[in-house]
Each structure stands twice: as structure tokens, then as C-alpha cells.
Amino acid sequence: MAFDRETVLNWPIPAARQVYTPRDTMLYALGIGMGDDPCDEAELSFVQERGLRAFPAMAVVLAHPGFWMREEKAGIDWTKVLHAEQSVRLMRPLPAAATVVSTSRVVEIVDKGEGRGALVRQEREVRLEENGELLAVVDMLAFCRGDGGCGGPAIRSRELESVPDRAPDIVSRLATLPQSALIYRLSGDYNPLHSDPLVARRAGFERPILQGLCTLGIALRSALGQARAYDTDLVREIDVRFVAPVYPGETIRTQIWDEGRTLRFRAYADERDTLVLDKGRIVLGEKPGH
């Protein structure tokens, strides 16, 4: 049965607060595989305290309000919810440590029709607690497969752009570890789908799957490392569509198109040649002083 559209559209998503430390920043970077070459100075700047930098994709885990769609009064069949797309806008580079607060709201519901599900887009603003400075706007699209027929528009206000119809400029392969999902979950995603074999099998997977946001972090690591020598301070916007899961231990093959101020990408689980991320985009700004 479909949820009540007005109830979900006006759902009071709780505000959140997080104190994150250099340890949390390093743990996030380790979760997306940084430091696999312990002599790579560029990657070491994300995983050890000397000159520590926060990787831009860490914005997705900061001051997260939790999985409110699981609340019974929301009326959503949460067991059939998939993470469909993710977008991030960064106002400036993330601090390596800070206290942040967030406010979230549902901004759009698209009804795909009875038996076809609904799309719910929510937006989270992440700010510094000390002065209210806006650091990032995190936009997440959920595909509620069991909730079509809720009413409202059938067309989205914004669609992600496809990658170019030509050979990529760069192809990068990064291996994940069998324990990658167990490391990444320590940054805040405790969904047992990524850690409990029984839960994973009940969901139709042969074993626990990698978090989609971890796969995104790894693809961004490839794109920014290969195309911009980890000049992550340039990152202003990130978009991606999640297509299929990765199993921990698989290699992620990322295709990258360099368009100057924009990097486009998609990624595959290399061993299965299965598309896992699509319509990826990184928008770059200018260096300070330019």
C-alpha cells in the first residue's frame, strides 16, 4: 500500500549534531581504501595527522539524521527502499575536524505509478555549529519500490546527465578489501545488510554488500587522484546514480572523462563487468586567488 504523500512530504526529519575528530576523518579515508600504498604522499595526507585533509565525499556521512523512513508512522515499506542517487554541493573544503549540525527536509516526491514505486528526494544542510557557516548541501534520492500510487507528479524536477558517448580519457582500477564494508560502517552506516550474512541473504544477496556511498568514495578517489592529483580543494559538486551493488573484495573499475572544469565518471565491478555507478559528475571550482 502506498504511503500518504503529504505525511512524507512534511515528515519532521530530526536535526543532528556531530563532533568529528581527526581520527574520524582518517577512518573515513581508510574506509574508501586510502593508504593502500603507504608511500603515496598524496594519499597519506588523508590518513595521517601531518597536514591532514578531509576527503570531499566525507560530507555524505556528516551529521546524518538516521534512517527515518523506518518509522512506522511514515508508512513507507522500508524493506524495499533503495538508495538511487546522491548529490553533494560543497561551499568550501571540509575541515579536518569540527562540530557540525544539520537540518533535513523532504523536497520532492515523484509517483511512478501503482506497482512501480515512488521517488523521495531529501536534502540535508550541514553547518558549522560555532557560527552557522554552511559547509555542504547533501541531496539523496530514495527509490521506494513498494510505494507507487501515492499521488503527485510523475516527472522529476531534475535528471542527472549521461556520461559522454566516447571512449573514456582515463580508466582506473582500485581493489576493495574483503573487510571494506566493515571498515566503512564505522563512519556511521550500521545497516546490517553490509555486515550480517543472514540479513544479506534474506535481502537476496549471496553475502553482505559494500555500501553504495563507499563505492562512490572509491570512484571519486580514482577520478580525483588520476585526473587532478588529489587537488580536492577544487571540488564543488558531486552527482551519481547507483545501479548495482559491489561485493567487498571486488575491484572497482572507474571510467573517467576529463572536460576541464567537469569530470564525468561511471564504475564497474571489474570481475563481473557489471555497471555499479552511472551518470557520475564532479564539478570543479577555481583555485583560491584566481
pLDDT digits (tens, 9 = 90+) for 30-68: 999 999 998 999 999 999 999 999 999 999 999 999 889
C-alpha closest to that of 120 among 69, 191, 189: 69
Average pLDDT over residues 113-121: 92
Which residue matches cell numbers 527502499? 81
Which residue matches cell numbers 558549522? 128
Cα-based distances in Å from 50 to 37, 42, 46, 58: 17, 12, 9, 19
Residues 103-106: contacts with CB under 8 Å, at least 24 apart: 103/13, 103/15, 104/13, 104/14, 104/15, 104/16, 104/65, 105/13, 106/8, 106/9, 106/10, 106/11, 106/13
**Lowest-confidence range among 113-117, 172-176, 216-220, 229-233?**
113-117
What is the SS3 assignment for 255? strand
The pLDDT of residue 54: 98
Q: Torsion angle of alpha carbons 143, 134, 32, 123, nearest 10°?
A: 0
Cβ pair 60, 54 in contact under 8 A = no
User: Does residue 152 register a pLDDT over 90?
Assistant: no
Average pLDDT over residues 229-243: 96
Cβ pair 238, 78 in contact under 8 A = no
Q: Torsion angle of alpha carbons 109, 110, 115, 116, nearest 10°?
A: -130
Who has greater pLDDT, 226 or 190? 226
> Rounded to an integer, what distance in angstroms lies between the CA atom of residue 137 and that of residue 279?
19
CB atoms within 10 A of CB 53: 18
> Rounded to an integer, what distance in angstroms lies between the CA atom of residue 222 and that of residue 172?
6
The pLDDT of residue 290: 47
Cβ pair 86, 122 in contact under 8 A = no
> Rounded to an integer, what distance in angstroms lies between the CA atom of residue 209 and that of residue 96?
28
User: Does residue 158 register a pLDDT over 90?
Assistant: no
> Rounded to an integer, what distance in angstroms lies between the CA atom of residue 7 and that of residue 68?
13
User: Does residue 288 register a pLDDT over 60?
Assistant: no
The pLDDT of residue 289: 53
> Rounded to an integer, what distance in angstroms lies between the CA atom of residue 79 and that of residue 268?
25
User: Does residue 89 register a pLDDT over 90?
Assistant: yes
User: Does residue 263 register a pLDDT over 80?
Assistant: yes
Give me the chain's average pLDDT, please. 94
Q: Which helix (H) or strand (E) holds 243?
A: none
Percentage with pLDDT > 90 across the chain? 80
Cell of 232: 580536492
The pLDDT of residue 146: 87
User: Does residue 145 register a pLDDT over 90?
Assistant: no
Cβ pair 180, 214 in contact under 8 A = yes
Cβ pair 56, 219 in contact under 8 A = no
Domains defined along the chain, listed by start: 1-159 (3.10.129.10), 160-290 (3.10.129.10)
Instruction: Give Dmax (Cα) for the chain.
Output: 55
pLDDT digits (tens, 9 = 90+) for 177-197: 999 999 999 999 888 889 999
> With a threshold of 0.85, does the pTM exceed it?
yes
User: Does residue 96 register a pLDDT over 60?
Assistant: yes
**Radius of gyration for the alpha carbons in the chain, expressed in angstroms and rounded:** 19
Who has greater pLDDT, 81 or 212? 212
User: Does residue 1 register a pLDDT over 70?
Assistant: no
Average pLDDT over residues 280-285: 97
CB atoms within 10 A of CB 181: 26
